[in-house]
Structure 1
């Protein structure tokens, strides 16, 4: 096999890893804003600028959204905004990698519920073991690192929103993916920006913070989403979802290197177990009907959603 053909085969997988890495690095940078404008203000800047960037890229009005389309997208976007807000509220109190691992329970639960195959119970069981190590074992006094209960509540709520995001995203499958995610983020901005204004007020208009927020939005949304669209054209849904399941580990590494969040061996093990559950679910999923990339909905959680 020539080096060119090998590179062509590896590029889609590398694009997914690049997307996940860019997303996690961008989120780590965003966390540095928390002491200045809080998690709510950071979410407002990130989602607001992400919406503006993707509106400029996709220009969704070109696709002629109907009133019914807009109604579906507004509901989808409201859940997307709430998911982002809860996620940022969670990582304010919890390690980044732990939060992402807990959040992955949402899509895994949707996969098990919609499939109802005995094999999917295995993946759900693995996820439960991972959650036990993260959430329950510390209650028995084991030296595995205690987690903030309020942060856990935010993370669990974010996972529920991710599940709702997937269900609602599937209902937009007949629409153009770029139109859905750009207008969805615009709707999300209307949900989260008021919280950001209430938390940070006029600080949100500080020029240096606006520039930082724009960079965070580009690194954690525009760049990763572009890489994901490239990969989706060349990878099967199961392969793409399997690669996406590396996100908890990449998030934990980013948290360790950029935020100095050191996890215990038990927490690393729990993250690995939840990743295995997500990968197993993706690899054994029933194939979906083939759709064109242009109309492919965001069945996974694109970079714009985290």
Structure 2
């Protein structure tokens, strides 16, 4: 009797967990779209500054790091994570401003894919790499309207996300709980204080721009972080990593519906190919007994 009553409850819990992840992904991409509406007034740097401040307040409140107890080696990791965190978000938002939400997020997801494929010699993983590479070639192929700077910024965000995954894993081993991530978010928020002040002084924000930037901070930082933590209590962390691969599709959909972006059929197919390669690579790594899921450490601090 106990088994029959527990199984439906477990399925219900997992269903709720996946629903939370879907809501988290939609919130993340909708927040990015809303934030981009403030670009004409305060630019990507202004929006990112507000986002970093909100993320810092949130994570410092949740992680409550004991900063005075950090050792120099721990501080070095935290500072490196803070630098990657700040660069990743600034590069991503600058890329969104130039090439659109869907393409920027898709290219950024190459970071986790590279981490998943690194060091693998399996034919399946090689196939995933070839499929993803083909998708990237289609997305970045030369055209009269190709924005190479935007593509470069999105790829920089991908590199930063790969570094973020590796650094976050190292920080998680050196510092308990979310203390390392919280401290990195706090440092990043401090770094963006002069940047944000300079931008807001040179480009006085309207009330609407501030609302959009704050909305990006809440929807793309606070909500996903808290919802992902709740979802991880209901579903395996491995499933969390695989489910994150749907974010480029959500980003492309939000870009079309909210921002009026248009994507060609070839671009949609390329996005689907990169998403599929990401999901297959992560799931195959789990099946072969990989000791740690590449996305397991903490939810991404966007």
| TM-score, normalised relative to structure 1 | 0.86
Tell whether the 8 Å contact from 2:25 to 2:224 is kept in structure 1 after alignment.
yes
- Which runs of 5 or more structure 1 residues have no equivalent in the other structure? 291-295
Is residue 276 of structure 2 the alignment partner of residue 276 of structure 1?
yes
Match of 2:25 among 20, 23, 27: 20
Q: What do the CA deviations read for 1:212-271 (whole angstroms, capped 9, x no partner)?
A: 433321211111111111222333333111100000000011111111111111111110
Task: Give the corresponding residue for 1:93.
Answer: 98
Change over 3 Å in CA distance of 1:245–1:190 after alignment to 2: same
* Number of equivalenced pairs: 294
- The root-mean-square deviation of aligned C-alpha atoms, in Å, is 2.7
- Which runs of 5 or more structure 2 residues have no equivalent in the other structure? none
Tell whether the 8 Å contact from 2:106 to 2:271 is kept in structure 1 after alignment.
yes
Tell whether the 8 Å contact from 1:169 to 1:297 is kept in structure 2 after alignment.
no
Tell whether the 8 Å contact from 1:85 to 1:192 is kept in structure 2 after alignment.
no
Task: Give the corresponding residue for 1:246.
Answer: 246
Q: CA deviation at 1:24?
A: 0.6
Tell whether the 8 Å contact from 2:54 to 2:222 is kept in structure 1 after alignment.
no
Tell whether the 8 Å contact from 1:197 to 1:204 is kept in structure 2 after alignment.
no
Cα distance in 1 between the residues matched to 2:18 and 2:120: 26
Cα distance in 1 between the residues matched to 2:210 and 2:27: 19
Task: Give the corresponding residue for 2:127.
Answer: 122
Cα distance in 2 between the residues matched to 1:207 and 1:117: 53
Is residue 16 of structure 2 the alignment partner of residue 8 of structure 1?
no
Match of 1:38 among 24, 43, 49: 43
Task: Give the corresponding residue for 2:181.
Answer: 181
Change over 3 Å in CA distance of 1:66–1:206 after alignment to 2: farther
Runs of 4+ aligned residues of structure 1 deviating over 4 Å after TM superposition are 1-5, 202-212, 296-301
Q: What do the CA deviations read for 1:124-153 (whole angstroms, capped 9, x no partner)?
A: 1110011111112x44x8xxxx43111011
Secondary structure of 2:131's match?
A: helix
| TM-score, normalised relative to structure 2 | 0.87
Task: Give the corresponding residue for 2:147.
Answer: 148
